[in-house]
Amino acid sequence: MQRILIILKNLEINKYMKHNFLVNFSFALLLLASTISKAQRIDPKTLKPLSEFKQFPAGSHYQDPKISPDKRANEVISYLTFDEKLELTGGYLKFCYPAVPRLGLRAVTMADASQGIRLTSIESKSQSVSFPGMQALSATWNIGIAKNFGQSISEECKIHGVDILLGPGINIQRLSVGGRNYEYMGEDPMLTSKIAVNYIQGLQSLDVIATAKHFIANDQEFARHIASSDLSERTLREIYLLPWEAAIKEANVQAIMTGNNLTNGIPNSMHKPLLNDLLRKEFGFTGVAMTDWQNSNYHINSQNLVAPSGLSLLMADNETFAKYIKDFIAKNPSKKASIEAELNHMIYPNIYTFFKNGIYDRYPQDLKYKDKTIAHQGLALQCAEEAICLLKNNDNILPIAKTKKILLTGEDEIHSGSGSGFVEGFNHVDFQKGLKSIYGDNLTCKVEATDEEVKNADIVLYRLNKESGEGFDIPFDEPKKAIKDIKRLSELNPNIVVLISSANGLPMPWLKNVKGILWTFMLGQERGNALASVVSGKVNPSGRLPFTLENDFKDSPDPDFNFLGGKPFWHGNNNFYKAYWKGEEPDSKKEIAKYVKPQELVHIPYEEGVFVGYRWYQKYKKPVLFPFGYGLSYTTFQYTNLKLSSENVKKDEALNVTVDIQNTGKVNGFEVVQLYLSDLESSVERPLKELKNFQKVYLKSGEKKTLTFTVNTKDLSFWDEQKHQWKAEAGKFDVLMSDSSEGYRLKKTFELK
């Protein structure tokens, strides 16, 4: 549908603000991490704990770690001057929280994430491991790996002196073309929640602060600074909020970062109904609520909304907010006391959280973890191995015997997306090196192979790359060259296996012409060793897709989400935004300026509602290339003996589900057992089925295990928009045990009384 641009005076936003939005910084400013000079980087060795400070105020107690974080924070606030309080609402040196030298409070360090640590803001002589991306982690469907992954990155933070890691990303993949999909955990809120909770628990196990981002509905990069994601209360609750609720209630996440976008016409960085009323009051969030970089500075005439919104920290600085406060007091000196009270309330979560996590009581670096780097590389390899999804394996072309002649062709694979989530890594083992270590001289590698080289190979492995990253979305029909390449290769050799390094959907007109497909995501620095393990059969592939691969983007819930003037715009950070927020005419050279005038928003209606991902394709019976939760194995599994603890369940009563899983093949391996629920008698339209639980189980050849799942009332509920609460209706439900979202292996019915 054509996007409607509405002038701000007509928006719901005017219920919450008196002035128009102004000033949006360019993408270059948003990625300051990539251009930070050495002079702006902080050396963690210079940061000292309170125990090193000697000139405390007379009668002070905040330096005593035995005192509660609440009392320590309030005492510190009582010692602060007005100017210090104002300063503590914003960042310092782009990636730090300011120090208060006269009180002995050191600066608090931050670093981008989540595929490891992006070392652009910290002075460090060590290197950071490039792990697989968050989407790849989710593809493991392994909560144990997720927790170990988080703990390993926590140890990396200790090595480099990072107090706050700016991750993980827990947005829902609404569309397969989203530029930052590689940073997120897929299309399903339950899968995202379970992986995120375990990752956060692992990361915070050493008191490193995790930052869940980007709150909320920041699901596409298109016009992300002027785009409003417009969605219903039910959609928000059932799909997009669930990972945030889990991160707060189950993982006790210590920080959140708001998205650059708006939600229902209100900027996320000053959205009181969502930040204060929902996250803080309803969900019980007590931690740091920060903006994305420079976000609050876009809204010059809306700064009055910041302090009461529930936000606590403006990053990378508070220049615009500080100017607003100073100007306001200059005009209204009698209100300085009330403004100071608001500042007290605003900075309290920051100082409280830093005391709670012991940041002011320790050095940021702890080099005793330096010897863990080898173990971290090992975990990166394990995660990469378990993430790889075997999507097609005709004639058992995989695994490949060591005696086979292999041609590896196509451009070098990519290991990470771009933008703030990029992690460089070190000692990379690419696909060529990894395969060479097993196949030796039987491996030939040519980016562009001759016809003879293709014909002479027993098997051809083709590397298909689809780059993605922050600041732009990814056209579905790219890369077009790959279509031509695979067509040529398949005409010369019938034994083609395609290796897809991508976080986004793509067309597969060549699907019938290849025998094998391995989806390899963004696997980080150990990608080559992981691929070699799977290709050779050393490791049985066990990855499962955390998203649906559609046939065509036209089949998706919102194929024209980025259409203006009848054409798509794929870049999300056109430099005209700065002029846009100032009310000036944007640069006429920017084509989008023809369609977006000063002080207009781009609205992205989430008209699909709760029907996101597989829910959408099943509702409209749209065939897909590969369904959510799908992945093949080198072995086979049998599902039997599905049992329910009761066929009649009372509300607030747990239902226990058991099922037997047996490895009926000859190869040891993992199976991902997925439990879906289907509401057969609902007063509102609900998805055909929804994932409610899963387990990844390792079974030796011939081995059988009984798995137990629990279904609770919340799992059966939908959001009642009339009563603004969860509602479980009496009636019949199906329990579906499956190995993907398509079809099922076993089914049992029960009734909720």
Banded pLDDT at 26 (limits 50, 70, 90)? very low
CA 326, CA 60: separation in Å to the nearest integer?
30
319-331 and 336-356 helices cross at what angle (nearest 10)?
A: 150
Lowest mean pLDDT among 254-263, 334-343, 543-552, 597-606: 597-606
Backbone torsions φ then ψ of 436, nearest 5 degrees: -60, -35
Q: Please name the residues in contact with 307: beta carbons below 8 A apart, sequence gap of 6 or more.
A: 339, 342, 343, 345, 346
Q: What is the DSSP letter of 626?
A: E
Segment 650-695, tens digit of pLDDT:
999 999 999 999 999 999 999 999 999 999 999 999 999 999 999 9
Tokens 């562009």 identify what position?
A: 448
pLDDT reading at 10 higher than 90? no
Q: Where are the domains of the chain?
A: 22-627, 635-752
699/661 Cα distance (integer angstroms): 9
Quick one: angle between helices 242-249 and 189-203, nearest 10? 30
DSSP helix/strand/coil, 745: coil
Asked whether 213 and 112 are in contact (CB, 8 A), the reply is no
Instruction: Say if residue 7's pLDDT is above 80.
Output: no
Task: Give residue 413's pLDDT.
Answer: 94
pLDDT averaged over the chain?
A: 92
Among the four given CATH numbers 3.20.20.300, 3.30.56.10, 3.40.1080.10, 3.30.70.20, the one describing domain 22-627: 3.20.20.300
pLDDT for 385: 99
CA distance 388 to 302: 46
Q: Which residues pair with 315 in a beta bridge?
A: none
Distance CA 481, CA 473 (A): 19
pTM of the model: 0.94
Q: Which residues pair with 704 in a beta bridge?
A: 662
Mind giving me the DSSP string for 184-242? S--S-HHHHHHHHHHHHHHHGGGTPEEEEEEETT----TTTTTEEEE--HHHIIIIISH
Q: Which residues pair with 461 in a beta bridge?
A: 408, 497
* DSSP code for 137: H
DSSP-derived letter for residue 540 is -
pLDDT tens, position by position, 489-546: 999 999 999 999 999 999 999 999 999 999 999 999 999 999 999 999 999 999 999 9
Task: Identify whether the C-beta of residue 129 lies closer than 8 Å to the C-beta of residue 425.
Answer: yes
pLDDT reported for residue 121: 76
Retrieve residue 723's tokens: 């009563």
To the question of domain 635-752 being in CATH 3.30.413.10, the answer is no
Mean pLDDT of 218-233: 93
β-pairing, 262-263 vs 266-267, is antiparallel
Using CA atoms, how far residue 161 sits from 126, 357, 656, in Å, is 11, 14, 45
